[in-house]
Amino acid sequence: MIRRHPSPALLVFDQPAFPEAGPQVPAGGVAPGEDPERAVLREVAEETGLTGARVVRRIAVDGRPHPETGQPRLTTYLLLDAPPEGPEEWEHRVRGDGGDAGLRFVCRFVPLPLAHPLADAQDAHLGRVDPRWVAQREAAGRGRPDGARPLS
């Protein structure tokens, strides 16, 4: 999710209970019969408390295996526009009945391009949204699973 004003920033969160997880973007599963666009809005609301986001478009579909289990997975990355108003940083307890229920997330908007990579290379496709959002290390082909093509 991108907040475009006053300058482009990406919504990320940290999990104080699991600092080793590193910064990440809201993500999660798609319920039976649910399309990815509806699922991402639900996940953002559950994990951050933010509502009023707008799905702009699909960015990429990534087939990398799960980093912990090695199991196959298909991840759809979507570009969302954040509401222009709201806090720059806040804490949120995850709602819902999923595995994250009750966890505390520290949410914030970070300037683009990112100074540090996100967990699980979640930032790998940002360059498909705006080439200026590719960090210098990524532009040089270092630090990304796909070398030259960075995320969302």
Spatial neighbors of 28 by CB under 8 A, at least 6 apart, are 39, 42, 43, 46, 47, 98, 100
In this structure, is residue 84 part of a structural domain?
A: yes
Q: What is the pLDDT of residue 1?
A: 95
In this structure, is residue 150 part of a structural domain?
A: no
Q: What is the pLDDT of residue 25?
A: 95
If you write DSSP's letter for every residue of 80-113 in order, what string do you get?
Answer: EEPPSSS-SEEEEE--SSSTTTT-EEEEEEEESS
In this structure, is residue 148 part of a structural domain?
A: no
In this structure, is residue 87 part of a structural domain?
A: yes
Find, among 91, 86, 90, the residue nearest to 103 by Cα: 91
In this structure, is residue 104 part of a structural domain?
A: yes
Q: What is the pLDDT of residue 35?
A: 92
Q: Long-range contacts for 67-70 (Cβ within 8 Å, ≥24 apart)?
A: 67/120
Averaged pLDDT, groups of 10, the chain, 152 residues long: 93 94 91 94 93 95 87 92 92 84 94 91 93 67 39 35
The predicted model scores a pTM of 0.84
Q: What is the pLDDT of residue 61?
A: 93
Measured distance CA(76)–CA(58) in Å, rounded: 7
In this structure, is residue 151 part of a structural domain?
A: no
Q: What is the pLDDT of residue 88?
A: 94
Question: What's 76's domain CATH number?
Answer: 3.90.79.10
In this structure, is residue 132 part of a structural domain?
A: no
In this structure, is residue 102 part of a structural domain?
A: yes
> In total, how many domains does the chain have?
1
Measured distance CA(143)–CA(103) in Å, rounded: 29
Q: Count Cα atoms within 13 angstroms, Cβ side, for 65.
A: 6
Q: Which domain holds residue 64?
A: 2-115
- 3-state DSSP assignment of residue 138: helix
